[in-house]
Amino acid sequence: MSFYFLVEGLRTEKKVYTAWIKFTFENFTEQADLKFLQGNDFVIRASGGFPFSPKLLPDTINDLKEHPVVTHLFVCVDADDETVAIRRARIEQELADLACPCPFSVIIANRCMESWFLGNRTMMPHRPDENPDLHPFWNHYDVSIRDPEQMEKPESFHLSTAQFHKTYLKAMFRAQGKSYTEKYPGATQDETYFDALVERRRETGHLASFGQLIDTWSGLGSPRLKPIRNGRS
């Protein structure tokens, strides 16, 4: 198998997906260009960040037609202020219209990849109410108990809901003495962090859009993943 990933961000998504693929498909090797793909390889192309431009899809499909070794295309973007269904349908229709030459999966993070990262329950301190930086976020919505993907921003927050999720995540990291930035996503690249998200999905049914990613990778033969259906493996 050979995978091609088109991801939204220049920094976070490329680094995190690269790390996650390497320990989910342990025998896969990252290649810098499609022309080097042979088998059990993957390429990640970063689209350049928000907002994701559909104009990138024709170039991607042309690349795939010129290099028919790719067995699965992944388009991985954030929902932001759209619904997952609307954004996925738009991209899937575009891929169909372009006659994508291989099977594809459109993975839409609801609301953003940081929404998934909030699902690691071990990152929430035992006494978040005692941390003045984290307390306002935790008091608004406790992501260790409630589904992070369903969290709306408070009315007093003037940026997008996705930006609120990112700000919450950074506060949670600081409360643990760690750092998270889009350029340096830190512990989110670790195998234990990924495993904590998989466990959260399996035990609670939360993180539905993350579950789509895991189910897809499981269906493609990942030796370490079992399908996740309705919150149960």
Parse the chain into domains and list their residue ranges.
Answer: 2-109, 115-187
Q: What confidence score (pLDDT) does residue 50 get?
A: 56
87-126 per-position pLDDT tens digit: 999 999 999 999 999 999 999 999 999 999 999 999 999 9
* Fold classification of 2-109 (topology level): Rossmann fold (3.40.50)
Q: Answer for the pair 178, 186: CB distance below 8 angstroms, yes or no.
A: yes
Buried b (16+ CB within 10 A) or exposed e, 90-111: ebeebbeeeebebebbbbbbbb
pLDDT in tens, 37-92: 988 999 999 886 655 766 789 999 999 999 999 999 999 999 998 999 999 999 99
What is the pTM (predicted TM-score) of this model? 0.94
Q: Which two tokens stand for residue 3?
A: 């995978």
Q: ∠ CA 66-72-78 to the nearest 5 degrees?
A: 105
Quote the tokens at residue 121. Answer: 């329950």
